[in-house]
Structure formats: C-alpha cells, structure tokens
Amino acid sequence: MKTVLLTGAAGGVAGMIRPLLREAFDRVVLSDIREVADVADGEEFRPAQLFDPAACARICEGVDGIIHLGGFSVEGDWATINAANIAGCYNLFEAARQAGVGRMVFASSNHAVGFYRRTRRIDTERRTRPDGLYGLSKAFGEALGSLYADKHGMRVMSIRIGNVGDMPLDERRLAIWIHPEDLVQLCRIGLEHPDLHCEIVYGASDNDRAWWDNHVAYGLGYAPKHRSEDHVQHALAEQAKLEHDPVGDLFQGGSFTSNGFAGDLDRL
C-alpha cells in the first residue's frame, strides 16, 4: 500500500489525520470539491465532485487504496444527501473497481444506528436504525461495500465513526469519541490487514461508557491508545452547559434523532 486516496480532504476530520497518513504511506492523494491550500510534501491534490463519474475516475488513477471521508457530513435535504452521499458513494466505488483499486475504507457513522437507545449495547450484527437521511446514506454505503466485496473482490472496511477529536466534548461523546490516532489505526487495518474481506467496525477509542461491542475491530488487531475517561471532568462540565433534549438524550444519535421527530417513543 503505497498510494492512498483521501476524499473529503478539506474537511475537519481529514485535517486531523493527514499528518499521520503522510507518515504511513509514500503518497496521499487529496480530493475534495474545495481546494486544499496546505498541500504538503508527499501529498497531491485532485479536485472532484463525487456526483461526477468522470471526476471519480480521475481521482482513482494510480491509487492502491481509498479512505472515503467525502460527502455531505451533516443532516440535509434529500437532493443534497442523494447527490453527495448516495450517488457519489456509488460513483466512487465503481470508479475504484474500474481502476483496479483493491481496498476501500468507508467512513460510515454512528448515525446509521442512531435510533438505538443509550441503554442498549449493540454490535455490528444489529440491523441499521438510521436517525435521518444522513444516517440512511451511511447505511447505504455499508451495503454498497458489502456488494463490492462479495461481487467484485474489493476488500472493504466500514467504520461507524462516533466523534473525532482531541478529547470528548460532552457526556454523549464519552461513549462514542475516537482520537485521530486511533482512527488512523483503524484505517490502516482496513487498508493493510491481509485477511480482511468486508467488515463493519465502530470508530471509538477505549471508552468505558461505550454503547458498542467492538469485538470485530479488536479481533483484527485494533488496540486503541486513548481513553475517554481521561477527559471525564471536562466532558461533564461541558455537558452541564447544554439544554436537555427530551428525545435526543434517549438515543445514541443524539440531536439527529430529535430533528423533525414525530414518532412514538413508547414503540422505540
């Protein structure tokens, strides 16, 4: 694995992991609809709109593996989510297949399972329960990865990312937080593990309050270096500043579940 494509390279998560990727790989191809201004040695920028199949083909040329962070990263209307996260995801997978790219790490999200209650501990065998159109698009990407692994022989890892940062910023994130170093470790497993076929793992550090059973990741050799409990006082102090959300505080997806909620809490 010498050359890796990183989509969504102008985003915040990409900015946190790019220095670590430069240390790990000979060349990192950066792609986004926005220009990346601080391209470093060992990096190359290729602009692309994911809903353009020809652009996806161009960014896949000469790469060995892909970390797909690109797309619309928050809740949005159907036209936006469909173009960026559904059609765009398909275009990238298909361009990768045609270019002979053997590995894909897909940045899924905790919002693919956001409607599980916080009292439930879940593994990746549970059905998806998206908490909005964004979460729905991530469930689609996981299914697309399964298709391309089984039908086309691509090796795929989908990472249901919690929240990436230097520390957890509230009580919810004590359960779902992942440090950038731990995220890169998972990405490298997806790009380099010799026995990987298609797996879904949770993007979380060593969190005592985790809602997720991440045994699949640990079985692949994941050994997170960071613990959310080391930042518990800061997180709880920040939590005290937040308003109570009568729906979002019940579910793992937080405010994504309460946005537009008109369901029956007793049935959930």
Is 134 labeled as catalytic in the residue annotation? Answer: yes
- At 186, is the secondary structure helix, strand, or coil? helix
Q: Which residue has the tokens 């959930």?
A: 268
Residue 160 near residue 200 (C-beta atoms within 8 A): yes
Q: Which of 44, 29, 37, 136 is nearest to 92 (CA)?
A: 29
Quickly count: other Cβ atoms within 10 Å of residue 217's Cβ.
26
Report the phi/psi class of residue 254: left, alpha or beta, with left for phi > 0 and alpha for psi in -120 to 50: left
Amino acid of residue 153: G
Could you list the beta-strand ranges (E) of the chain. Answer: 3-7, 27-31, 43-45, 65-68, 103-109, 155-161, 163-164, 177-178, 198-203
Catalytic, out of 90, 116, 134, 148:
134
Catalytic residues: 134
